[in-house]
Structure 1
Amino acid sequence: MRTMWCGRASQLDALQDSSLALKIRRLAFRKIRAAGPKYASTSPPNSSCRKVGENRSARRVTLDGTRFVHHLHLHKVRIMKLRHRLFDLMGGQTVLAGAIPGRKLLSALIAATPSSEAPTPAFLDFAQIEIATASFLREAVIGFRDYARQSPRNVYPVVANLQQAVAEELDFFVRARSDVLWSCELDAGDTVVRAQLIGELDPAQRSTFDLALELGTITAPELAARFTDQRIGPTAWNNRLSALASKGLLVERKQGKSKSFSPLLEIA
């Protein structure tokens, strides 16, 4: 009887979370539409997140700790940058601990993150967060990154404004998983400063990532043709680039029958 009740309680919690997430998401879309489509930007197409952040004419809409920043680039395609303030989303808590609170934040992040036609950075702003445990980071941060990169939402999570204790805990955790995340500082005007990687790439992925930083937008066939001395075929190059995109480090775009890849941010 106890097992049956626990099972029903879990189902009820899941239904309540789903209902709340749906309501939050609908409210977010209403606020975005109400803000209007008239935005201006001098950022070039496919510009880096740093350049997008420097635009002061973009319209900002804030909803329950999430800031939606809209821009319009030269091809009239609306792109959006998201800033999720964890301090607000977690009700003013400065210590984030435990898997269950991490999963609740994950649900809130998913609900507050709409799909985008253009690649969209989603900043997880840790400002005012003093401590975050590994179990919380696993469920909230890694969970959101994996969800975003496996879903068709075209969103690339970035952790921002980490205090030293949180940065050390996250770095230790992702290194133990052989994982990597983008990290940066984000000012009040949504400008990216001091972007860097947290964690460590294996040598093959690191060399491929460095090539992307050096060359900008690249494709697997281009790398195979350019570095024939390495005897790496297009398929192997594509596997490396796709692995970096799955971690959210590179932006993946369709380019004819192939795909192009470019760094999400610029290394400081």
Structure 2
Amino acid sequence: MRIDMVEVSGGPILSGAVNGKDAFAALVKAVDREPKEPEALFLDFRNVEFATASYLRESVFALKTYMRSRSAKFYPVVANVNSSVMDEFSVITILTNDVIMSCQLDGNRNIMSQELIGTLDPKQQMTFDIVSKSEQIDANSLMEDFGEAEKTKGTTAWNNRLSGLVAKGIIREFSQGRAKFYRPLLDRGE
């Protein structure tokens, strides 16, 4: 699903915490139905000229927190962000020690590029990189392939890392019965 942030805000300048809270309410209303499978929710900034950190905090990051706290199947991704808005996203990720996925979409919604805004701790970064290169992975596979190198004795550490990345909204979690597996947030063909 793609949401045009200019339509949500009513213009190309997104500013102020109060306006951000109004945008949050509009975003929640726009995603009134859950998808069957976990998927990216593209917040398209294509025609946004500027956005303040307070607006982004109260809209985009509030939506991401809300979705992750209720284990929604939508995972917010910011798309087509210009450099000035990217600077504001970077400020928020530094101040809050958070991250968010960003990408460039073409007119047909094909992902042209993607990047993580913000910084992960080294263990999370390593796990994120492994998941990003995999079609699908689980904690047992990570333990088998990297347990010795990471000096882990069981799957608990891997489960914790994977759960942490899901909580940050940067990888997708799928369930089959009691088993959980994980996929990159943005697949190549998504």
Same fold (TM over 0.5): yes
Cα distance in 2 for residues equivalent to 1:198 and 1:192 = 16
Structure 1: which 5+ runs fail to align? Answer: 1-81
Cα distance in 2 for residues equivalent to 1:210 and 1:86 = 29
Q: Is the 8 A contact 2:39 2:185 kept in 1?
A: no
TM-score (norm 1): 0.66
1:86 corresponding residue in structure 2:
5
Q: Deviations over 1:81-120 (max 9, x none)?
A: x1110111211x2211111110110011010102111112
CA positional deviation for 1:210: 1.1
Matched, 1:96 2:96: no
1:242 to 163, 180, 183: 163
2:180 corresponding residue in structure 1:
259
Q: Deviations over 1:109-135 (max 9, x none)?
A: 010102111112111111121111111
Q: Is the 8 A contact 2:131 2:137 kept in 1?
A: yes
1:129 corresponding residue in structure 2:
48
Structure showing greater relative contact order (alpha-carbon pairs closer than 8 Å, 6 or more residues apart): 2
Cα distance in 1 for residues equivalent to 2:170 and 2:88 = 20
1:106 corresponding residue in structure 2:
24
Cα distance in 2 for residues equivalent to 1:126 and 1:160 = 6
Cα distance in 2 for residues equivalent to 1:108 and 1:211 = 35
Moved over 6 A (4+): none
Q: Is the 8 A contact 1:252 1:262 kept in 2?
A: yes
Is the partner of 1:189 in helix, strand or coil?
coil
2:80 corresponding residue in structure 1:
161
Superposed counterparts of 1:123-202, under 5 Å: 123-202=42-121
Aligned length: 185
Cα distance in 2 for residues equivalent to 1:122 and 1:115 = 11
Q: Is the 8 A contact 1:195 1:266 kept in 2?
A: no
- Write the letter of the residue equivalent to 1:224: M
- Write the letter of the residue equivalent to 2:151: R
Q: Is the 8 A contact 2:39 2:73 kept in 1?
A: yes
- Please say which structure displays the higher CA radius of gyration: 1
Cα distance in 2 for residues equivalent to 1:266 and 1:84 = 19
Superposed counterparts of 1:26-65, under 5 Å: none
Is the partner of 1:111 in helix, strand or coil?
helix
- Write the letter of the residue equivalent to 1:89: V
Cα distance in 1 for residues equivalent to 2:111 and 2:134 = 21
1:48 corresponding residue in structure 2:
none
